[in-house]
Amino acid sequence: MPAVITDDKIPNNVNLSGDRRLQRALEAWQPHFLDWWKEMGPSGWQEKDIFLRTAVSVESEGWAHFDYVRMPDYRWGIFLEPKQEGRVHGFGDFKGQPVWDEVPGEFRNMLRRLIVTQGDTEPASVEQQRLLGQTSPSLYDLRNLFQVNVEEGRHLWAMVYLLHTYFGRDGREEADELLARRSGDVDKPRILGAFNEPTSHWLSFFMFTMFTDRDGKYQLSALAESGFDPLARTTRFMLTEEAHHLFVGESGVQRVCKRACELMKTAPGGDVRAAGGIDLPTLQKYVHLWYPLSLDLFGGEISSNASDAFAAGLKGRYKEERYTEHDLIGSTFSMDVLREGKVLREDVPMRTALNEVLRTEYIKDCQRGVDRWNKTIREEGIDFRITLPSNRFNRNIGMWATQRFAPDGTLIDQATWDAKRDSVLPTEADETYIKSLMKPVYERGKMANWIAPPAKGINNLPGDFEYVKVD
Ligand code: BYC
Ligand code: FE
Ligand code: FE
């Protein structure tokens, strides 16, 4: 493993200076990335000093360096986990054979599509979050937002490195396209649904980092199993950073829950809204919005793409080593399916069910987070439970998208849906109310009224640390 080179234009542990052509190509892409960052990255804060973590190596001890940095000066680097000598394909048709260090011709398109789809989500999320710095509930949250943003920028670099290194001219073109598409744009939208949704306030930001970044955890874990070794090594390191994004989301919502409970107990008549908080029924509606959008990101329940990617050894399951069987020929997965307007349980050939297999793991993980929110609510002495809706509710991708379902999974007709919609999903009035709360709080140690302070600061620093130098 080459040492980390940090005095180059592009910090890396892939010996970039040993490949002049590649280095020149990436150095030519770099100014385009910076232009994109300045145009579409966090608005209004580019000249300020932010207390950020920068990945400087892949050592499990001390991979991160914390210091003040202006975001355009952030050292976006390329880091791959060390190569494991003798690594073999762990699943699929090539199981037991040595992993690939080059792209096999027959799978080139499939692999490129996976990498481009992954890469597209990273800048998309930065675009979605670009205005949130104007309304942060505290300096602590402001810094966390920017931390997530710069790391999503680094994740884009990770995928662009693969495209430039292994896909020649097509790869360079795809890398340019990654900077050309725009979240929510009618003509050149981002590839996947959730990445074109507005994230226009901090409640949606926390839901996004809870539910949508968690799709990232599961997709990256599936790619970390890949028999295309550079992809596996890149995504493994991305997962290290991802944990903080999930923390921001889960703890963010938890703090909103806590504050809602406090206000229920202290506000006249327990009226949380009158006291300037986010009431739990409204919070539940945002769970109903972001959770199905994130479920959609796993693709159709029955998918030949998923089957092909597994067969080729390109995309595995979550923690493949936990399973005993890695061929999946002749095995089945028991799952709900829609047949002639009815929900039935069926055994589906395992390889075609792999999107659903991954989604099922994701759902369990989401439930664990929701359980922790409910624990907070219970500890506050409040009788309310947040629930995840059925995986059939409000879907736009896959077999459930063709019918209407209530949050409990009951099939309902369009008229019932129309009558129910505003009681289960955010209305325009809810959006207006939440946005009305979004007033920036930029004094050290202060917190907006609608959210409880964090249990502790970042990197063991105190809560009133100057996470962002405002002046
Ligand atoms: N929206 O066979 P199907 C992250 C398309 S998040 C729009 O059912 P497949 C992050 C699909 O592309 C992780 N289109 O599904 C989080 C296909 O189109 P084509 C991102 C969709 O292909 C927060 C057609 O429907 N990583 O990192 O098995 C912040 C039929 O597809 C959607 C990845 O996604 C949708 N929701 O699975 C920052 C990993 N779903 O090709 C970052 C790479 C499906 O027929 N991607 N379609 O035109 C994949 O593994 C797969 O592409 C998917 C879809 C899992 C997304
Ligand atoms: Fe990411
Ligand atoms: Fe993330």
Would you state the pLDDT for residue 58? 87
CA-wise closest residue to 162 among 240, 223, 251? 223
**How does DSSP classify residue 210?**
I
Tell me: pLDDT of 6 over 90. no
Is residue 58 within 8 A of residue 80, CB to CB? The reply is yes
pLDDT, one tens digit per residue, over 325-351 is: 999 999 999 999 999 889 999 999 999
Average confidence (pLDDT) over 179-185: 98
In the predicted structure, residue 67 carries a pLDDT above the cut 80: yes
Q: What is the pLDDT of residue 333?
A: 98
pLDDT band at 125 (very low <50, low <70, confident <90, very high): very high
The closest ligand to the CA of 245 turns out to be: 3
Over residues 173-190, the mean pLDDT reads 98
Least Cα distance to 39 among 208, 248, 183, 193 occurs for 183
Give CA angle at 215 (213, 220), nearest 5°. Answer: 95
Q: Which of 261, 271, 262 is nearest to 385 (CA)?
A: 261
Beta strands in 56-184, from DSSP E residues, in sequence order: 64-70
Task: Take atom 55 of ligand 1 and give the residue whose Cα is closest.
Answer: 298
Q: Is the pLDDT of residue 139 over 90?
A: yes
Task: Compute the average pLDDT of residues 455-461.
Answer: 93
The CA-to-CA distance between both ends of the chain, in Å, stands at 42
Judged by its nearest atom, the ligand closest to the C-alpha of residue 290 is: 1
Q: For the chain, how are helix, strand and coil distributed in percent, rounded to 5?
A: 55, 10, 40
At 172 the pLDDT is 98
362 pLDDT higher than 60 = yes
Query: What confidence tier does 3 reach under pLDDT thresholds 50, 70, 90?
Result: low
Q: Is the CB of 192 under 6 A from ligand 1?
A: yes
Does ligand 1 have an atom closer than 6 angstroms to the CB of 352?
Answer: no
Mutation test of ligand 1: which of 151, 174, 231, 297 has the most ligand atoms closer than 8 Å to its C-beta? 297
Ligand number nearest CA of 123 is 1
Q: Is the CB of 305 under 6 A from ligand 1?
A: yes
Residue 391's pLDDT is what? 98
Express each pLDDT in 245-290 by its tens digit.
999 999 999 999 999 999 999 999 999 999 999 999 999 999 999 9
C-alpha–C-alpha distance, residues 470 and 314, integer Å: 45
Are 130 and 40 spatial neighbours (Cβ–Cβ below 8 Å)? yes
d(CA 389, CA 96): 40
**Domain at 16-460, CATH from 3.40.50.11540, 1.10.620.20, 3.10.28.10, 3.30.1360.170:** 1.10.620.20
Closest ligand 1 atom, CA of 215?
Answer: 6
121 lines ligand 1 (CB under 6 A): yes
Helix (H/G/I), strand (E/B), else coil: 344: strand
State residue 121's pLDDT score. Answer: 98
Structure tokens at 47: 């000249």
**Mean of the pLDDT values across residues 180-201?**
97
CA distance 419 to 413: 10
Confidence of residue 321 (pLDDT cuts 50, 70, 90): very high
- 409 Cα to the center of ligand 3, angstroms: 29
Assign 57 a pLDDT band (cuts: 50, 70, 90): confident
Considering only CA atoms, which of 406, 399, 292 is closest in space to residue 336? 399
Q: Which of 242, 208, 220 is nearest to 159 (CA)?
A: 220
Please indicate whether residue 350, judged by its CB atom, sits closer than 6 Å to ligand 1: no
- Work out which ligand 1 atom sits closest to the CA atom of 194: 36
Q: To the nearest 10°, report the CA torsion of 294, 92, 234, 306.
A: -20
Is the CB–ligand 1 distance for residue 238 below 6 Å? Answer: no
Which pLDDT score is estimated for 2? 56
What's the CA gap between 290 and 389, in Å, rounded? Answer: 11
- What residue has token string 């180059």? 8
Query: Are 10 and 160 contacting, i.e. CB atoms less than 8 angstroms apart?
Result: no
pLDDT at 7: 64
pLDDT reported for residue 5 = 64
Rounded average pLDDT over 442-449: 96
pLDDT digits (tens, 9 = 90+) for 218-237: 999 999 999 999 999 999 99
Q: What is the pLDDT of residues 8-41, one digit of tens each?
A: 899 999 999 999 999 999 999 999 999 999 999 9
- Report the nearest atom of ligand 1 relative to the CA of 398: 8
- How many angstroms does the Cα of residue 228 sit away from the middle of ligand 3? 22
CA 106, chain centre distance (Å): 30
* CB-based contact 143:268 (threshold 8 Å): no
Tokens of 235: 């995504």
360 CB within 6 A, ligand 1: no
Q: How far apart are CA 155 and CA 190, in angstroms?
A: 16
Q: How confident is the model at residue 1 (pLDDT cuts 50, 70, 90)?
A: low
What pLDDT is attached to residue 337?
Answer: 96
pLDDT, tens only, 389-427: 999 999 999 999 999 999 999 999 999 999 999 999 999
Comparing 341-345, 354-358, 363-367, the range with the smallest average pLDDT is 341-345
Residue 88: strand pairing partners? 98
Q: At what angle do helices 108-128 and 139-166 cross, to 10 degrees?
A: 160
Note the ligand closest to the C-alpha atom of 248: 3
- For residue 387, CA distances in Å to 38, 131, 440 come to 39, 29, 30
- Does residue 356 register a pLDDT over 90? yes
In this prediction, what percent of the chain has a pLDDT beyond 90? 95
Q: Give the pairing type, strands 411-412 and 342-349.
A: unpaired
Contact 30, 10 (CB under 8 A): yes
Q: What are the pLDDT digits (tens) for 71-113?
A: 999 999 999 999 999 999 999 999 999 999 999 999 999 999 9
Residue 211, CA distances (Å) to 12, 292, 370, 438 in order? 30, 9, 11, 21
Would you say the CB of residue 216 lies under 6 angstroms from ligand 1? yes
Q: Is 287 in the pocket of ligand 1 (CB under 6 A)?
A: no
**Percent with pLDDT over 70 in the chain:** 99
For residue 179, the cross-strand partners are: none
Averaged pLDDT of the chain: 96
